[in-house]
Structure 1
Amino acid sequence: MAYVKPDEVVAKMIEVAVAKGQLPVKDLLIRGFLSGALLGFATTLALTATVQTGLGIVGGLVFPVGFVMIVLLGLELVTGNFAVVPLGVLEGRIDARALLRNWGWVFVGNLLGGLVYAFMFVAVTSGGSPIAVKLAQAAEAKTTGYAQLGALGMTQVLIKAVLCNWMVTLGVVMSLTSASVIGKTVAMWLPILIFFAQGFEHSVVNMFLIPAGIILGAKVSLADWWLWNQIPVTVGNLVGGFLFTGLALYATHHRRAPATHELLSEAAPPRILNEQFGTAQE
């Protein structure tokens, strides 16, 4: 499947970071919107599979279809960008303004996509259906469920968010380890399955799930959504993606090209030998 080595993957991550940092706002919003909606589709598919089989692992197995579509179509997911785009700043090829611009507009696009799909899905879903009940219960568990635990709840949501995006961003990176569509799909599937099946917290998934649950009757306020989930989960996703995937892989697999004076220094001894002894020795 045309395996790509880690050093080459990190080099590609840097190129992707530069490209993402230069995208116009229109593209960031459109691609972000589509990503938010596609993760909503994947979430309802996973919930449907769980309800039909009674096995949460089945939902985890099918959820990655949305992520695969996002990556193969070159769309924008803020959680993935938390790991990749900072590498362009570390290399000095884009500035912090471009980084924040990417994160900000993609976040808005993801949110709009999640909200639009939430309203559309609720419009065709019966309020008493198993899926509707599941969505409402999940919305409450992800907000007021943490609030009831106080500081412990906030700690839990932050850690779950870090663990989630550690895996999600690995999905982004793993897609670069193959040059074939099949290889990319298999590589992406593995870490995304790990995150979803274990119930970790993903900010973009929650941009659909919690609003949909609220519309379907969950006893959750907008303040509950943002204070006990959306804000801390976004922060945790940022830390998990940047620290444990982007920065970690950059630190161990990035190979800096030698400077010109270093190349000349390494080449000097053979030239001296040639001049002094008239040999062709290298």
Structure 2
Amino acid sequence: MSKEKNEKTQEQQNIDDELKNSKASEADTAKSHGEILKQQIIEGQETYDKSPVSILLSSLTAGLEIGFSYLLICTLYFFLEGKVSEDTIIKSLSLVYPIGFIMIILGQSILFTEQTSLLTLPVLNKKRSLASLLRLWGLVILGNLIGGYLIAFLLVWFGPQLGIFDLKTIEKIAVHVTDYHGSVIFVSAILAGWLMGLLSWLVAASKDTLSRILIIYIITAVLAFTGLHHSIVGNVEVFSGLISSPKIILVEYLSFISLALLGNALGGAFFVALLKYRAFVYDVKG
């Protein structure tokens, strides 16, 4: 047992040494796998070191800011309705969907799906415990959801008052998001979490703001165009329907948000954090 423990300790030391030796690339060369992983682990640990109040406020800010994506989604839907087909409208929403994500990620607010794989990496690297990860996830989700509720109440009132969309638009979007079997929403959310974890990885790999904006836009536009379920945007979409339409009931909202959050978490933690980390570990072993 002691021998096995020593082997695991030595393996972890080798991984840490390899990460420590990963130096920053020159400005004109791509970052290596080790460099990106090291940056992600450091950024993840910095989030763990923040105070709970700071994390809650930052995640609440992200929940509010994602509302700008929803504002544009509703406005564009209302603007195009009756001018083009329903299918065309739904696909066109991918043009404005990324805006809130760009604000959040460049502004460094804490968004659950973008931070999922980032916060998992220090646990895989044995720098943080699983319990601390779950506590942090819970805090981030709480802030994101509360921010989403607040912006939903504001936009449900504000949109019709300004005449940029109406309650029927809110209802149609909410029904479109939830009109799937639970298993479909769950698998869809896993794929969305995978893409969001990959987004975090690609942003870390990029070297300038313009390329980061392009990466954020491409990945989140893919989410919208394919209709994959993102828990935090979906929270605003479905909760807005819940408070303004009889077609969305509380059980439906709770089912959606539970499946979307779980799917997003699995997608980001497994397909990005675990696989990227294990790929590096096997490279070190080799």
Q: Which residue of 2 aligns with 1:56?
A: 90
State whether structure 2 residue 155 is matched by structure 1 residue 121: yes
Rg larger in 1 or in 2?
1
1:8-45 Cα distance to aligned partner (Å, 9 max, x none): 11111111111112221111111111111111211221
Are the counterparts in 1 of residues 124 and 277 from structure 2 also a CA contact under 8 Å? no
Match for residue 231 of structure 1 among 251, 258, 277:
258
Could you tell me which runs of 5 or more consecutive residues in structure 2 were left unpaired when the two chains were aligned. 1-26
**How many angstroms apart in 1 are the aligned matches of 2:221 and 2:166?**
20
- In structure 2, the CA distance between the partners of 1:48 and 1:255, relative to structure 1 (3 Å rule), is farther
1:154-203 Cα distance to aligned partner (Å, 9 max, x none): 21111111111111222222111112111211122211111111111111
State whether structure 2 residue 138 is matched by structure 1 residue 104: yes
Q: Which residue of 1 aligns with 2:126?
A: 92
Match for residue 169 of structure 1 among 187, 190, 197:
197
User: Post-superposition shift, 1:74?
Assistant: 1.5
Q: Which residue of 2 aligns with 1:264?
A: none
TM-score when scaled to structure 1?
0.81
Q: Which runs of 4+ in 1 moved over 6 A?
A: 255-258
**How many angstroms apart in 1 are the aligned matches of 2:204 and 2:267?**
19
**How many angstroms apart in 1 are the aligned matches of 2:211 and 2:100?**
16
**How many angstroms apart in 2 are the aligned matches of 1:73 and 1:104?**
21
Q: Which residue of 1 aligns with 2:174?
A: 139
**How many angstroms apart in 2 are the aligned matches of 1:56 and 1:222?**
25
1:98-134 Cα distance to aligned partner (Å, 9 max, x none): 2112101111100110000001111212299755323
- In structure 2, the CA distance between the partners of 1:257 and 1:198, relative to structure 1 (3 Å rule), is closer
Q: Which residue of 1 aligns with 2:236?
A: 208
**How many angstroms apart in 2 are the aligned matches of 1:174 and 1:95?**
25
Could you tell me which runs of 5 or more consecutive residues in structure 1 were left unpaired when the two chains were aligned. 147-152, 259-282
Are the counterparts in 2 of residues 11 and 254 from structure 1 also a CA contact under 8 Å? no
Equivalent residues in 2 for 1:1-282 (5 A)? 3-53=30-80, 54=84, 55-126=89-160, 130-143=165-178, 145-146=179-180, 153-227=181-255, 229-253=256-280
- In structure 2, the CA distance between the partners of 1:187 and 1:116, relative to structure 1 (3 Å rule), is same
Are the counterparts in 2 of residues 161 and 237 from structure 1 also a CA contact under 8 Å? yes
Q: Which amino acid aligns with 2:232?
A: V
TM-score when scaled to structure 2?
0.80
**How many angstroms apart in 2 are the aligned matches of 1:224 and 1:88?**
35
**How many angstroms apart in 1 are the aligned matches of 2:164 and 2:65?**
22
- Give the count of matched residue pairs: 250
Are the counterparts in 1 of residues 75 and 164 from structure 2 also a CA contact under 8 Å? no
